[in-house]
Structure 1
C-alpha cells in the first residue's frame, strides 16, 4: 500500500499464498475490473493495473463487484460487552477499510517518526497496489442475542426476521470451530497479500474488543459476476453456477440480492444476507470416478461445461435430459420456484487431514435478499437427493446480515443499526 503522497511501484508477480502451495489458483485467474454498486467492467487491463474499487456507495463493494482472484474471510467474536466500544471499533474499522481499499496504509502508516511506538499499519502491503481490494462486513445472529440469550448491545429487537438460525441439513457435519460468528469481514483482492494484510490490520485494530473465531483463505474463484466471461472451474474440474447473477443486472440484483425497505428492517435496506459454507470435497474418491459418472453427477459436459445434450456452456439446459439426481437439475431456478442467489465462491486447500487426504474443497459464499426463499430451499433440495453428496460434505456454516454501503466519510459500517 502507498501512503497519501507516495507512489507504489509495480506489484510483484505473486502467484501463491506465500509458500502455502496454492499456485493452483493461477489457472483460474481472470480479468475483471472495479465495480461500484451493481456495476462491473470485465476488462483484464484494469485488473492487471491494480486499480482501486470505490469504497463509498449505496451497496457494499464485494457483492456485485466483479469477482477478484483471492479471498481472506474472517469471522470474529466480539469480546467486549460495551456498546460504545463496539461502535467506536466499527467507526475505526470503516476508516481503515476506506484507506486500504484505495491502496493507502492505515493511519500514519508502517513507518513513522515515533520509533518508540508500534506503527499504525503492519506493513506487509507496502509497495503493493490496491489490487481491487474490497472489504465487506456482516453481522451474525449472536451479535443481536448471544448464545446465552443476552442482549449485550441493546439491538435484540432490531434483529431481522430473515437472520435465522440455519436449519440442520441432511449430511451436514458442522465443526463449531469453523461456524458462526458475531461479525464477519470478506476481503477479496487480486493479490493474496493485499487481502491478508486487510484482515490482519482489522484484527490488530480490534484487539481487546474482537477476536478471530475462524478464517478461510480462498483462491481460484469458482463463480463470476461477469457471466459474459467463461465460468471458472471448481476443484472437481467442472464449471458450476453458470447462471450466476451478473453484477450489471440491476433488475435481478433488486429482485434477488438487495434487501428492500419494505421487505426488511429500515437499517438493512440496500444490504443483503450472506451464507458462508465450508464444503469439503472428497478429492481422492472423485479422482477415481469415471468421466461418465462425473458428468452425470453434475449434469454437464466436463470439457466445454455445456448442459448434457447441449453444445455450449450457456445453452439453456434441458433438465429432463439429466438424471433426477444431477446437481444442475436440482439447483436450477426452474426446480426451485425461481429462487436465485449471487455466488462468490472460492476453492481452498488447507493441507491434509492427517490420513493422507487433501483437505480441499469449496468455500461457498452466496448473497440473497432472504435466505428463507433463497439458500434454504435450494440446499434442502440438494441435501436430499443430489448425487454430488457422495463426494462432498458441509463442515462449516454461518449466516450474516450485510448492511448497506457506507455513503461518505462521515458514515460508518452499521451506523443505521446502532442509531
Structure 2
C-alpha cells in the first residue's frame, strides 16, 4: 500500500465482548484488542512491526497485503460461491469486510468467542484470543468464473486484463488446486492468526461459499522492503532480490496498480493476482552439483551475486549467464520490460506416495495487467529455463483484486456491484 492511505483506527470492541473479558481476562483483552493502537505503516514496512505484533491499517486506497512489507506466514484460500443469489453474495462481501476490519486489528469477530448465549454458536472461533494482530492482512480477489453469464449479472464488467491463463509447456495442473470464484490471501507473522482469519471467513460464508482449495505457506521467498535480508527459497537460493519495493510509488503505479481505464473503472487502484503452486523435485535437486545449481539460477549460492558480480544487489550482466539461466530469462530486459511484484511463500505438505517431500514454492504475483506481466515472463521461462528439470507447476489461478476499502461504510468489491 502507498502512503496516501487512510490511517483510521479499527472499530472498538463490542460492549458484550468487553463484558465477556471481565476481571483478569481484561488484561488479555488489552493484548488481543488494544494491541491495534500500536499500528504500523502498511506502505513499505520499515517499522519493526514483527517485533511489536502491531496491526496493519485495513482501510486505504489499495488493499493491504500487496505492497505491504511481506509477513512470515500465509494461509491462502480459494472459494467457490455456492449461492446463485446476487443479494446474498453482496451481503457476504459486506460481512467479510466487517470481520476483516476487526481481525486485522487483533479483535474478535462480531460479539466474540464467548460470553454470548449458551445455546448459540459464538461469533468467533477463539483460537486467536490473546494473540497480537501480528501484521495480519487480508486481501480479496475475484476469479474469472464469478463473471460467467447468468450468475450475478456482472458478466459485462469482467476486466479485459482478467484473462484465463494459457496452458504453458510443462504444466501439470490439478483442477482441484486451481481456479475459484473468490480468493482471500491471509498473511501474518503468526501462523495461527492467519489460519484463524481464513477459518472465520469460511465459517461466515457457510451456505454461500465453500473452500475449493487452500495453501499454507512459510518462509517468505520475496521481500517488498528495501534493504531487508533477501529470503531464500527451498532450493537454498536468494529469491526476489530485485522485487518491486513497497515504498516505490512510481514503480507500483507503473507495474502494479490498475488504472481503471476501458471497461474496468471499478478496478482503479486494484491489481491482478496470479497464484501458482510450483512443486520442487527436492530430492533430485539435492543431488545436483553446486556449479550446476548456480548456473541454473545465474547467481552464486552464498552471496546471491549475479554471475561475474560480487554483491547480491549488483546489476546483473545477463549475457554472462547461460542462455537458460533462470535470472536471465525472468529479467524485465528479456521480456520487453514485463515487471511483477512477487509475494511468494515456501510450502511443505508432507510426502507423496513415494516418500518424496511435497514441497516447493507457492508463487504469488501482482501486476497491472496479466497480459503484460506474468504471461510473457512465464512463456519465456517455460520455453527454456534450465530450472524446469527440477520444478513443475501443479496448481494455478488468476484473480482481479479490487481497490481498498476506504472507510467503515465501504466494503470489498462495492464498485463492482454498484
TM-score (norm 1): 0.91
Q: What is aligned with 1:69?
A: 72
Q: What is aligned with 1:359?
A: 358
Deviations 1:98-134 (Å, cap 9, x if unpaired)?
A: 0000000000000023111100000000100100000
Distance 2:318 2:199 in 1: 45
Q: What is aligned with 1:49?
A: 52
Q: What is aligned with 2:86?
A: 83
Distance 1:302 1:359 in 2: 23
Q: Is 1:242 aligned to residue 266 of structure 2?
A: no
1:124 partner SS: coil
Q: What is aligned with 1:328?
A: 327
Pair 34,224 (structure 1): closer, same or farther in 2 beyond 3 Å: farther
Q: CA deviation at 1:261?
A: 2.7
Q: CA deviation at 1:35?
A: 3.5
Q: What is aligned with 1:308?
A: 307
Q: What is aligned with 2:276?
A: 277
Pair 378,219 (structure 1): closer, same or farther in 2 beyond 3 Å: same
Q: What is aligned with 2:368?
A: 369
Runs of 5+ in structure 1 lacking a partner?
13-32
Q: CA deviation at 1:340?
A: 0.6
Pair 264,232 (structure 1): closer, same or farther in 2 beyond 3 Å: farther
Distance 1:376 1:224 in 2: 22
Distance 1:114 1:222 in 2: 44
The question of whether the paired residues in 2 share the 8 Å contact of 1:35 and 1:64 is answered with: no
Pair 120,357 (structure 1): closer, same or farther in 2 beyond 3 Å: same
Give 1:108's match in structure 2, choosing from 111, 117, 121. Answer: 111
Deviations 1:345-366 (Å, cap 9, x if unpaired)?
A: 0000000011010000000000
Q: CA deviation at 1:263?
A: 5.5
Q: What is aligned with 1:20?
A: none
Q: What is aligned with 1:126?
A: 129
Runs of 5+ in structure 2 lacking a partner?
1-11, 19-25, 33-38
Distance 1:359 1:298 in 2: 22
Q: CA deviation at 1:34?
A: 4.0
Q: What is aligned with 2:400?
A: 401
The question of whether the paired residues in 2 share the 8 Å contact of 1:34 and 1:66 is answered with: no
Distance 1:69 1:240 in 2: 15
Deviations 1:45-80 (Å, cap 9, x if unpaired)?
A: 321111000000000000000000000000000000
The question of whether the paired residues in 1 share the 8 Å contact of 2:169 and 2:382 is answered with: yes
Instruction: Tell me how large the CA RMSD over aligned residues is.
Output: 1.5
Question: Which deviates further from its counterpart, 220-229 or 251-260?
Answer: 220-229
Deviations 1:299-330 (Å, cap 9, x if unpaired)?
A: 00000000011011000001011000000000
The question of whether the paired residues in 2 share the 8 Å contact of 1:50 and 1:132 is answered with: yes
Q: CA deviation at 1:8?
A: 3.9
1:53 partner SS: coil
TM-score (norm 2): 0.91
The question of whether the paired residues in 1 share the 8 Å contact of 2:218 and 2:346 is answered with: yes
Q: What is aligned with 1:58?
A: 61
Pair 222,126 (structure 1): closer, same or farther in 2 beyond 3 Å: same
Question: Which deviates further from its counterpart, 165-174 or 263-272?
Answer: 263-272
The question of whether the paired residues in 1 share the 8 Å contact of 2:116 and 2:122 is answered with: no
Distance 2:151 2:262 in 1: 26
Deviations 1:225-256 (Å, cap 9, x if unpaired)?
A: 01311210000000122110000000000000
1:57 partner SS: coil
Q: What is aligned with 1:166?
A: 165
Distance 2:283 2:29 in 1: 42
Distance 2:27 2:260 in 1: 42
Distance 1:83 1:126 in 2: 34
The question of whether the paired residues in 2 share the 8 Å contact of 1:100 and 1:198 is answered with: yes
2:371 partner SS: helix
Number of residue pairs the alignment of both structures matches: 391
Q: Is 1:139 aligned to residue 138 of structure 2?
A: no
